[in-house]
Amino acid sequence: ACSRKNRNAALHPLWQSPLTIPGGTRQSPINIQWRDSVYDPFLKPLKISYDPTTCLHIWNNGYSFLVEFDDSTDRSIIVGGPLENQYRLKQFHFHWGAINDWGSEHTVDSKFYPAELHLVHWNAVEYPTFEEAVMEGNGLAVIGVFLKLGARHEGLQTLVDALPAVKHKDTVIEFDVFDPSCLLPSCPDYWTYAGSLTTPPLTESVTWIIKKKPIEVDEDQLEAFRMLLFTSDGEEEKRMVDNFRPLQPLMDRTVRSSFQ
């Protein structure tokens, strides 16, 4: 039998709660096989309300570039969809490839998109801090939006114009008004499944909400992502490209769709 002591051994000393570890059963990203997704009529529409003035800054963290928001109040939140509570927007970032043939983290019927946007939210109803929410099964909700090559995206351009200022790792610039809802497709359709962070600590705390329709961006805008660097100023330059995690096994999971 698992003695009390052993059971406690499974608890992470810092959090006093079970810490799921990578190599787990709900890792991300995954391939979404359209025909295997199951329509769930009980899924609600996702309600998104962002306050553009909660935008704080853009920074290059050496993995991607993040646009961070003031998450000290409930001014920028999502609610509904597969979510039990409302979740607060903390940051959004992207993953992209060196060329247009790949770059997204999730795939649809094994098709890669050239890039993928992640809007990261946390369950401030049940957890006191983002760091704690990261450790809990229902702690985070990430909206994934695919980017495809097409027309220039005017809303994205304001972000693209600021990227040269965060070319190097650990650089940051003030960015004080931006409404991320301009980066969402108008179509409400999405897939949803239980997954994880796609970068370390890879904790299995994310309810993924993947929009069915991509947004269009043009070649110059994708090239602007590719001129960012993984490296700090003064180091040998390494272009920030192919910052996506390999596909993970679906294991015992079902992807639900909000549409028929």
Site residues for Zn ion per CB under 5 A: 118
Q: Rounded to the nearest whole angstrom, what is the least distance from the CB of residue 59 to ligand RYJ in the complex? A: 12
Q: Which of 46, 55, 79, 134 binds ligand RYJ (CB under 6 A)?
A: 134
Q: Which of 153, 199, 213, 241 binds ligand RYJ (CB under 6 A)?
A: 199
Nearer to ligand RYJ, 90 or 212 (CB): 90
Binding segment (CB under 6 A) for ligand RYJ, from list 157-165, 167-175, 197-205, 210-218: 197-205
Binding segment (CB under 6 A) for ligand RYJ, from list 17-25, 153-161, 186-194, 196-204: 196-204
Q: Rounded to the nearest whole angstrom, what is the least distance from the CB of residue 247 to ligand RYJ in the complex? A: 14
Q: Give, as one character, the DSSP assignment of residue 47.
A: E
202-to-3, 8, 40, 162, 195 alpha-carbon distances in Å: 28, 22, 27, 29, 9
Could you identify the residue written with the tokens 């999502």? 78
- Kindly determine how many residues on this chain lie close enough to bind ligand RYJ according to the rule CB under 6 A: 9
Q: Give, as one character, the DSSP assignment of residue 224.
A: H
Question: Do 224 and 160 meet the contact criterion of CB atoms below 8 Å apart?
Answer: yes
Q: Which of 201, 238, 239, 254 binds ligand RYJ (CB under 6 A)?
A: 201
- Closest Cα to residue 85, out of 40, 135, 124? 124
Question: Do 46 and 86 meet the contact criterion of CB atoms below 8 Å apart?
Answer: no
Nearer to ligand RYJ, 32 or 134 (CB): 134
Question: Do 176 and 191 meet the contact criterion of CB atoms below 8 Å apart?
Answer: no
Q: Which of 135, 142, 183, 224 binds ligand RYJ (CB under 6 A)?
A: 142
Burial of 128 (0-12, 13-18, 19+ CB in 10 A): exposed
Nearer to ligand RYJ, 67 or 197 (CB): 197
Q: Rounded to the nearest whole angstrom, what is the least distance from the CB of residue 151 to ligand RYJ in the complex? A: 26
Question: Do 136 and 127 meet the contact criterion of CB atoms below 8 Å apart?
Answer: yes
